């Protein structure tokens, strides 16, 4: 139930007394608590972290959506690289895995997965219940900074701290 303000007029009811002042203080506190909650939700929607974050969003079944960034290091040389994502009870991915890779030697970035005209230039990206997998068709080890973002729900209603 929302806050119902009182109309205050000089020399008229309602009286300036303890119950009415407590009503006003409770309304002010509730408004500040709501602002804090909204700020937390906004922060979680705009924060990327190597730790799991409760986004404050819900999936179509009402489950909480989480987000986590996985540091994958360097891309592999014409092979598949497997990186444990360390997410317990991961359920459904609500977005395809996505990411970015950077080569400090060339200053180039490219998105992940990376579609290309030739198979050897492509970088494939997928996730399993335990890992993130990256596959290259050529030597891409000069791309030493690679990050993958996973957005998902859990198989349980586990509560995760946002601190």
pLDDT in tens, 16-39: 788 888 888 888 888 887 887 777
Residues 68, 87 contacting (CB under 8 angstroms): yes
Q: How high is the pLDDT of residue 158?
A: 52
Q: In the predicted model, is pLDDT for residue 76 greater than 70?
A: yes
In whole numbers, what is the pLDDT of the chain averaged over residues?
88
Over residues 133-143, mean pLDDT: 96
Q: In the predicted model, is pLDDT for residue 162 greater than 70?
A: no
Q: How high is the pLDDT of residue 8?
A: 78
Over residues 5-14, mean pLDDT: 80
pLDDT in tens, 82-98: 999 999 999 999 999 99
Alpha-carbon separation of residue 55 from 4, 9, 44, 104, 144 (angstroms): 31, 44, 5, 31, 28
Q: In the predicted model, is pLDDT for residue 73 greater than 90?
A: yes
Over residues 57-77, mean pLDDT: 94
Domain covering 53-154 in this structure, CATH number: 2.60.40
pTM, rounded to two decimals: 0.74
pLDDT level of residue 1 (50, 70, 90 thresholds) = low
Q: Where are the domains of the chain?
A: 10-46, 53-154
């Amino acid at each position: 139930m929302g806050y119902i303000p009182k109309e205050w007029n000089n020399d008229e009811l309602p009286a300036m007394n303890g119950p009415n002042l407590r009503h006003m203080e409770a309304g002010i506190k509730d408004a500040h608590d709501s602002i804090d909650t909204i700020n937390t939700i906004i922060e979680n929607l705009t924060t990327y972290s190597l730790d799991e974050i409760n986004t404050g969003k819900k999936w179509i079944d009402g489950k909480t959506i989480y987000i986590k960034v996985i540091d994958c290091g360097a891309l592999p040389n014409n092979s598949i690289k497997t990186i444990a994502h360390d997410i317990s009870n991961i359920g459904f991915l609500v977005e395809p895995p996505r990411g970015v890779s950077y080569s400090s030697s060339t200053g180039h970035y490219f998105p992940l997965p990376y579609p290309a005209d030739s198979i050897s230039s492509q970088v494939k990206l997928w996730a399993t219940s335990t890992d993130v997998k990256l596959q290259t068709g050529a030597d891409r080890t000069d791309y030493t900074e690679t990050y993958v973002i996973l957005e998902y729900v859990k198989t349980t209603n586990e509560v995760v701290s946002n601190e």
